[in-house]
Structure 1
């Protein structure tokens, strides 16, 4: 179906790049029409509306064709929609998680602020003309809001351990999950004493009722578990394992078909009672952001909620790309032998061992670290974007990662360079010299003895960096092009143009929310990563369409990176 080639930019996805005379450019995975998918609800027109927290937009999906139309654009008043519900008059109510707002969008498309008094609003539901919202935080509240009168919110209960998607049950009670404690609770809409309905539920993220009144509890974990609970009789449970990574929400149509979303892989999928799935909107990458390749040619992408393998579809066919591990807020990534080093833009640097499934924390409390690179002499270099610094992290002997897994024995952190405007990515050449892209300065700098030397300036929002042989490559996300700079002659070349990086053309920058609101992380900044492969190709994060691009020299010729082994095309 042509839907598989739909672009986030609108219409059908075109070629991934143009203007390249030296490189063959191909996608390692298919474009994804959605930047993740969170709350879903059927609208009066019969389409399924999907909130996209990462994009800051809401799209309508035709369940028959899979066609996607943007309804609430990313440059509108809503910053980070996480859930939505429709009122009796057809109005759409939206929880705007990061700024802490609840919106009403009229059937005519007008926006009205319902409340800015809800902290981390997430789950939302309508009961006739009444509107209810809960908070995704510890000791959160469940509230009734009053869109018409504008009165103060009414608190039904407090003490929620991260609330999320909720719904009115057939018994007239509101049902909602406690994500932290693995419980499902209920409370009368007019208030009263809340009571536990189910305990020991696997990572509950949403509660939904089918048309027969059966309670469905979705799990946010990797296995895609849905727990069916019979509330009419014995309270017996049955488990459906869908394989859909990172379930977020669900909606039932008039034929009782269940459609689910995924915060981790996006897309919209019909989920049958026996666990079979039917793809409506393709799943794929939410970003991607950082990209790397290991010595044997395996490509990894940091995809905000996970580490993904864009070259390989999951073995069971339930996901467009392989999920290696759910890793919240993964942003930058660098392969180091059999290990993966990761930055979280919320302040953490970790090392993940895919073979053992263990994680070691290297540093915490950093100010939005982004790009990361392995230093030739050992240790890691990290671009600490919001602090304007490049850091060096060195562990105690870099010993057996299994012995250090999950320990808080942090690395020694030293400053390699400071006073930068907005450093985004770092890379090393064969001589061990460190380069950093400064997005706001529009430059690539070389760090020499704590000072910076300009290698290239006048660039348009440079981000991803890689060095192959004598050439330094940089992704200019403003101009949407790949530039090469000769480290010997200083010559500049445009290697590829019209790259699908950054936000759609003509879209203004989103308001940059705070890193944390009431302890919860906000939406990520865009980061178009770049990496050199052992065979002389380049891997580029095309975060504008949700793919990783491989750029291979024309004719299959290899351009061996100095100091790295050669290899065949993977």
Structure 2
């Protein structure tokens, strides 16, 4: 394989530090790992355990309130919990959002049962503490409220539909269901007998969840405003208890009326004192779910598609800065990011979206929906944009003022994951089936330039033209020399390669890779949610000259 740094030998003779060819130091954490991959549903059980659910990792966790330690309570796939409910006898039910299932367990030692299925987007769940009845709602992938048969023998009874997103709800002491209408900015109560609804309060940006304390006070989270609010059920009067951050998801209240709030963009759970509004962070991460990466020209700033946020990272000190947050803006769960001509190109496999964000103002220039699980995007010199569609196996060229003119560039791809523009002005992309593929952007001609790769995802090109690829099935980064046909493992035993979860694409969370002009390689972890850098080994001048003199 040709040297990664062809000027290394020359540098040794002129007394400057030299890079050792294709030799890298062990990975270093630039951004520290965190516990969750987005955190959603919360519940306090009768044993005083704080439970938290994550849809992306399909896992339910137990969180130590004092230390912040997080341990797995129920693993994947059954642990996928968008919301968690505790019954009057300590039984537990939870919702598998992508699975479309309602899970149930009588106690820790009892088997897990599926009470209902075929309910995509099953979201919030709550028990009536007096009757033991169980209710659940569909949001985003459906819009309905159901009564769930606890025996699992009967089909769920639909109570109401087309409400406007009846999200994190609770059952009041009167037996009615109290919850937010996500898409209407209202909090309502719903009669489970006939589906009748009454508006309690309105004027919220995006109300996400409600809960009652022991005194009957109703607390409401507004995810767009980032506030925890107290609502007088009788009058609808609303007061802000605490201002947190956007991307709030759920809340739980313990027997002492302490309030616990989850934030999906920060991988955080905070405890709020409702009397004073003071908060304490129990656990938090700098990143949410690190996925696609790109880097600016001077190598000082990384940009990351963080699923629940779009962020920048200072490569010198690892400082993370929010650019956009899900539910605090129009950001749509980005899984990849590329640099275009003064703009960022973000794609979301889950929402079928291409989002174009101005590099300087961070305003959205365009939002293109209706794509078929878009996994990456690149911009061509004429300003048109090529998007890889994982579900269709196509590269699609979008043009026109609103990018509504669609042309199929090529097809027959087997799970395209990550895509970049090569130094030779061809498009290069990884395919989940094991290929590195080149596509001529003018003709659509497709050539598979490497095969037998182990679930390749992240892709970047070194200055000398070699490609760095994340082979996630083998948890390694490899370097490919296309000219010489050689392949070399650059680093292995890396924290990448999380098995794909329910509702996720074949590649799961794509492992992003980026390289700066000095050959420093950056990659995100879908295992521990950190971000790492691998620096080339530098040979001191004296040693380099000595090594040269010892050669025959």
Task: Note if contact 2:261-2:269 (Cα within 8 Å) is conserved in structure 1.
Answer: yes
Displacement after TM superposition at 1:344 (Å): 1.7
Residue 96 of structure 1 corresponds to which residue in structure 2? 96
Deviation at 1:254, TM superposition (A): 2.3
Residue 168 of structure 1, CA deviation? 2.6
Which protein has the larger Cα radius of gyration, Structure 1 or Structure 2? 2
Q: Alignment partner for residue 228 of structure 1, among 230, 239, 248?
A: 230
Q: CA deviation at 1:82?
A: 0.9
- Distance (whole Å) between structure 1 residues aligned to residue 539 and residue 272 of structure 2: 42
* Contact 1:282 1:320 survives alignment (8 Å): no
Q: Is the 8 A contact 2:53 2:59 kept in 1?
A: yes
What does residue range 171-570 of structure 1 map to in structure 2 within 5 Å? 172-191=175-194, 193-221=196-224, 223-231=225-233, 235-273=236-274, 274-296=276-298, 297-311=300-314, 322-326=322-326, 327-336=331-340, 338-345=342-349, 346-353=351-358, 355-361=360-366, 363-375=368-380, 378-396=383-401, 409-440=402-433, 442-448=434-440, 449-470=443-464, 471-503=466-498, 509-512=500-503, 525-555=508-538
- 1:380 deviates by 3.1
**Cα offsets for 1:317-364 (capped at 9, x unmatched):** xx9763534312211101235421111213221211254343233643
Aligned partner of 1:3 in structure 2 is: none
Q: Alignment length, in residue pairs?
A: 505
Report if the CA contact (8 A) 1:137-1:160 is conserved. Answer: no
Alpha-carbon distance between aligned partners in 1 of 2:371 and 2:495, rounded to the nearest angstrom: 30
C-alpha distance in 2, partners of 1:235/1:377?
55
Kindly provide the CA deviation profile for residues 10-29 of structure 1, in whole angstroms up to 9, marking residues without a partner as x.
xxxxxxxxxx9424532232
TM-score with structure 1 length normalisation? 0.81
Hey, what's the Cα distance between the residues in 1 that align with 2:180 and 2:376?
36
**In structure 2, distance between residues paired with 1:106 and 1:444:** 49
In 2 relative to 1, CA 477–376 (structure 1 residues): closer, same or farther, beyond 3 Å?
A: farther
Q: 2:153 aligns with which of 147, 150, 153?
A: 150
Conserved? CA contact 2:56–2:501, under 8 Å = no
Which residues in structure 2 correspond to 1:34-183 (within 5 Å)?
A: 34-76=36-78, 80-107=80-107, 108-116=109-117, 118=119, 120-128=121-129, 129-137=132-140, 140-148=143-151, 150-170=153-173, 172-183=175-186
User: Conserved in 1, the CA contact under 8 Å of 2:301 and 2:315?
Assistant: no
Is the Cα–Cα contact under 8 Å of residues 376 and 432 in structure 1 kept in the other structure?
Answer: no
Partner SS for 1:82: coil
- SS, match of residue 391 in structure 2: helix
Compute the displacement of 1:538 (Å): 2.4
Partners of 1:415 and 1:549 lie apart in 2 by 36
How far apart, in 2, do the equivalents of 1:190 and 1:394 lie? 52
Q: 1:74 to 1:374 in 2, by over 3 A?
A: same
Q: Which moved more, 1:181-190 or 1:489-498?
A: 181-190
Residues 24 and 554 of structure 1 are in contact (CA less than 8 Å); yes or no, is this contact kept in structure 2? no
Q: Secondary structure at the match of 2:474?
A: coil
Distance in 2, matches of 1:419 and 1:93, equals 43
What is the Cα deviation at residue 455 of structure 1?
A: 2.5
- Mapped to 2, the partners of 1:338 and 1:89 lie a distance apart of 58
Q: 1:564 is matched with which residue?
A: none
Kindly indicate whether the alpha-carbon contact (under 8 Å) linking 1:138 and 1:162 is maintained by their aligned counterparts in 2.
no
In structure 2, do the counterparts of structure 1 residues 201 and 364 end up closer, same or farther at CA, with 3 Å as the change threshold?
A: closer
Distance 1:454 1:41, change over 3 A: same
Sort the Cα spacing of 1:71 and 1:198 in 2 relative to 1 into closer, same or farther, 3 A. same
Shift of the alpha carbon at 1:379? 3.5
Cα displacement string for residues 305-328 of structure 1 (whole angstroms, at most 9, x for unaligned residues)? 321234499xxxxx9763534312
CA–CA separation in structure 1 for the residues paired with 2:375 and 2:517? 23
Deviations 1:227-261 (A, max 9, x none): 222336x5432224533231111111222211111
Would the alpha carbon gap of residues 156 and 429 (structure 1) be closer, same or farther in structure 2, given more than 3 Å must change? closer
Aligned 8 A contact 2:474 2:497 in 1: no
Q: Determine the C-alpha separation between the residues in 1 that align with 2:162 and 2:340.
A: 44
3-state secondary structure, aligned to 2:257? coil
1:127 Cα deviation (Å)? Answer: 1.7
The Cα shift of 1:188 comes to: 4.3
2:524 and 2:531 in contact (8 A); partners too:
yes
3-state DSSP class of the match of 1:330? coil
Against the structure 1 CA distance between its residues 130 and 548, is the aligned structure 2 distance closer, same or farther, given a 3 Å change threshold? Answer: same
Q: Aligned partners of 1:512, 1:173: CA distance in 2, in Å?
A: 32
Contact 1:137 1:161 in 2 (8 A): no
Cα pair 2:479 2:490 within 8 Å, conserved: yes
